[in-house]
Amino acid sequence: MAGLFIAPTAAAPMVEQQCVVAVAGRGLEGDRYFSAEGTWSATPGTGRHVTLIEEEAVEALAREHSITIQTGAARRNIITSGMPLNHLVGQDFAVGSVVLRGMRLCEPCSHLASLTKRGIVKGLVHRGGLRAEIVTGGEIWVGDVIRAVQSNAV
């Protein structure tokens, strides 16, 4: 894993971390969705515990659309490298010792565009990342290996 970020409240800048505590059924301690202060906290939906995006998607955004952002500006909690995410929908996977379940794609939205740059929605369609829920909690560290696990996922 290449990066780890949280934001304390909705629309607040993402803050880079070396380690976060993942709480099963709830989210990442210190993050806006853990404390129900995220932009979409009042809207029912799955996959609000943790979001992930491929570092390669952010690089492609710059290369293909001339939109350059820092990886944290993508507003995802975990930045992966060398790990395709779209196929993890409906699958359990581990980040270090923490088990996550991929729930749905994390498509870019107008809120992301309002906090970053015009054109980002088009540039990240179908590669905006993954929304996941925490199945087994613990600590997540920058550099943790992401791997498939045997699961009972939906």
95-107 pLDDT, tens digit each:
999 999 999 999 8
- In this prediction, residue 153 carries a pLDDT of 53
Q: How far is CA 84 from the centre of its chain?
A: 13
CATH 2.40.33.20 for domain 3-18+29-89+102-131: yes
Q: Give the separation between CA 144 and CA 77, rounded to whole angstroms.
A: 14
- In this prediction, residue 114 carries a pLDDT of 73
- In this prediction, residue 150 carries a pLDDT of 79
pLDDT at 40 over 80: no
Q: How confident is the model at residue 116 (pLDDT cuts 50, 70, 90)?
A: confident
Q: How confident is the model at residue 125 (pLDDT cuts 50, 70, 90)?
A: confident
Residue 133 and residue 103 in contact, taking contact as beta carbons nearer than 8 Å: yes
Q: How confident is the model at residue 154 (pLDDT cuts 50, 70, 90)?
A: low
Q: Give the separation between CA 102 and CA 105, rounded to whole angstroms.
A: 8
SS3 39: coil
- In this prediction, residue 152 carries a pLDDT of 58
Residue 142 and residue 21 in contact, taking contact as beta carbons nearer than 8 Å: no
- Domain boundaries, given as residue ranges, for the chain: 3-18+29-89+102-131
Q: How confident is the model at residue 151 (pLDDT cuts 50, 70, 90)?
A: low
Q: How confident is the model at residue 132 (pLDDT cuts 50, 70, 90)?
A: very high
Averaged pLDDT for residues 38-52: 84
Residue 130 and residue 86 in contact, taking contact as beta carbons nearer than 8 Å: yes
Averaged pLDDT for residues 36-47: 80
Q: Which residue type does 133 have?
A: E
Residue 28 and residue 34 in contact, taking contact as beta carbons nearer than 8 Å: yes
